Amino acid sequence: QNRKCIEEVIHFAWEEKLFLLADEVYQDNVYSEGCQFHSFKKILYEMGPEYYNNVELASFHSTSKGYMGECGYRGGYMEVINLHPEIKGQLVKLLSVRLCPPVSGQAAMDIVVNPPVPGEESYSQFIKEKESVLNNLAKKAKLTEDMFNKVPGIHCNPLQGAMYAFPRIFIPSKAIEEAKAHKMAPDMFYCMKLLEETGICVVPGSGFGQREGSYHFRMT
């Protein structure tokens, strides 16, 4: 999302008194030139006190994505601002009756939010490894995009970030009719056939919302 889009979302939430949930786990996974991550909280504060004193916002981050990729540690955090005191009390109550996250996940999250800084012995190695991981992900994103666009009947937009491709597939009318005969969405039918005949597992785009008459799948 660009900054203008985020400002519009914040303004809408302010007008309608909505609670904003900002999933920012892919903030390091930005590949396209000219694109950058924008923090909802940062923009909220820059929009002035009328917004940052009133808009309820929860921001999420995780060790599972980014350059870390530590999915098994189950580490993450949620920061909430401007939450109504009664709601905050219920949230604290909910957290109090749940088991705590694994210690290893908490330790990993602590390292993510407190990385090595210039002057520390491990800083240069940290930057080297971080850039290596992100550069490799960017290369894989470009390779995925290029390969999809070589396949007849598939079109893939530039992969700007995250870890997924969401190409559009052009399904022949006979296949659409067969999908309907099986009482399946055409993209679900496509994905099931792909799995059965090749062993490749992808997720149908109908689960994410798409324009009627268009079909997609998501691949990691």
Domain boundary among 113, 134, 155: 113
Domain boundary among 45, 79, 113: 113
What pLDDT score was predicted for residue 102? 86
Q: Which regions in the chain score pLDDT beneath 50?
A: none
Say yes or no: 9 and 106 in one domain: yes
What pLDDT score was predicted for residue 154? 96
In a domain, 45, yes or no: yes
Instruction: Specify whether the CB–CB gap between 74 and 67 falls below 8 A.
Output: no
| Total domains present in the chain | 2
Residue type, 42: K
Say yes or no: 78 and 180 in one domain: no
Say yes or no: 105 and 188 in one domain: no
Say yes or no: 104 and 23 in one domain: yes
In a domain, 148, yes or no: no
Say yes or no: 11 and 100 in one domain: yes
Please enumerate in sequence order all residues whose Cβ is within 8 A of that of 158, keeping only pairs 6 or more positions apart, or say none: 32, 145
What pLDDT score was predicted for residue 69? 86
In a domain, 15, yes or no: yes
Domain around 7: 3-113
CATH number of the CATH domain containing 108? 3.40.640.10
In a domain, 195, yes or no: yes
What pLDDT score was predicted for residue 209? 84
Say yes or no: 107 and 179 in one domain: no
What interhelical angle do 186-198 and 173-181 show, nearest 10? 90
What pLDDT score was predicted for residue 56? 96
What pLDDT score was predicted for residue 201? 96
Residue type, 34: G
Say yes or no: 104 and 201 in one domain: no
Say yes or no: 180 and 83 in one domain: no
Say yes or no: 107 and 171 in one domain: no
Q: How many CB atoms lie within 10 A of CB 112?
A: 19
Half-sphere exposure of 79 (CA within 13 A, CB side): 11
Domain boundary among 113, 140, 156: 113
Contacts of 10-14 spanning 24+ positions with Cβ under 8 A: 10/40, 10/43, 10/44, 10/47, 10/51, 10/55, 11/47, 11/51, 13/55, 13/56, 14/50, 14/51, 14/54, 14/55
In a domain, 199, yes or no: yes
In a domain, 29, yes or no: yes
